[in-house]
Amino acid sequence: MARLLLFVILISLQFSGNSQSSYHIPDSVKRILFLGNSITYSGQYVAYIEAYLKLKHPGRHYEFMNVGLPSETVSGLSEDGHADGKFPRPDLHERLGRVLDQTRPDLVFACYGMNDGIYLPFSDERFSKYKDGIYWLHNEVTKTGAAIVHVTPPLFDERKGEAYSNVLDIYSAWLISCRYTNSWNVADLHWPMKKYLEDKRLADTSFVLAKDGVHPGDLGHWLMAKAILLYLGEKDVQNAPDVQSAVAFHPNGEKILSLVKERSALMKDAWLTSTGHKRPGMKTGLPLPEAKRRADEIENQIKLLLN
């Protein structure tokens, strides 16, 4: 009953917009790492955040590193017959040490939860595995001296399964509660996405953010990026309906966004190949030195456009 009460309170706070706190990236931060599953690997929201911060704060020099891995969990769970029985879900526990050793981040954004309930109705056992994984992740990152911002999972469309949609509501509510119980930095994108979807469906019942209920398209990724940017204090994105509008204040905004996306796509595969993982079917990235050389060439183009 206490959990249910907390859940209801947090839902009401999220929909009223009163509980979204903020986090200021310290001046000392140079290397920013994104961890997550296929939604993070897809990478649009990561590139949107990087491009906007680069345009808005050209004097700040961040290196963004995306090492999201499709199918991954932080809970260590995998459903029977995952990927038609070809392989179990990758477990972040297997690779996190190598990722942190190689990337040496100052700040980590971690977005887990979508896969962690393995698409089954709520159970205390699976919820406990998710919480244990998040606590472990938090401790492993902070032991390195890096800061971590936890990110609530994107929503699972209830039309694809109301029970699992509720699971992610609960996981998100718990993660948000860690702002208060653990003094953690938690950026919430779950509830803003849920409200956006519900509002849109009042006018168009066929509207979707993710055709499969899981993987958002470009608009969904913008909603994710927007929620994180607002959490970082970037209030100017509040009324931007899409990323193109958000970067339009700069004459070369869209060109820079395109180059950031190109570089991000290049580097994510290089980082995944370099740090290693156990998921079959992933693209082999360029050797890291070669990828970094090409990334530097793209960065020089971006600098010219910024000036």
Hey, CA dihedral for 152, 24, 209, 137, is it positive or negative?
negative
What pLDDT is recorded for position 258?
98
pLDDT band at 20 (very low <50, low <70, confident <90, very high): low
pLDDT band at 10 (very low <50, low <70, confident <90, very high): low
pLDDT at 97 over 50: yes
Query: Do 91 and 116 touch, CB atoms closer than 8 A?
Result: no
Report how far Cα 177 is from the mean position of its chain's Cα atoms. Answer: 18
- pLDDT above 90 covers a percentage of the chain that reads 93
What pLDDT is recorded for position 117?
98
Averaged pLDDT, 245-271: 98
pLDDT band at 16 (very low <50, low <70, confident <90, very high): very low
Averaged pLDDT, 88-112: 98
What's the predicted TM-score (pTM) here? 0.94
At residue 295, φ and ψ (nearest 5 deg) are -65, -40
Query: Do 154 and 189 touch, CB atoms closer than 8 A?
Result: yes
Averaged pLDDT, 200-204: 97
Averaged pLDDT, 57-70: 96
What pLDDT is recorded for position 307?
86
Taking all residues of the chain, what is their mean pLDDT, rounded to a whole number?
Answer: 94
Q: Which residues, listed in sequence order, are joined to residue 34 by a DSSP beta bridge?
A: 66, 109
pLDDT at 153 over 50: yes
Give the separation between CA 69 and CA 93, rounded to whole angstroms: 12
pLDDT digits (tens, 9 = 90+) for 116-138: 999 999 999 999 999 999 999 99
pLDDT band at 8 (very low <50, low <70, confident <90, very high): very low
CATH topology of domain 23-241: Rossmann fold (3.40.50)
pLDDT digits (tens, 9 = 90+) for 159-187: 999 999 999 999 999 999 999 999 999 99
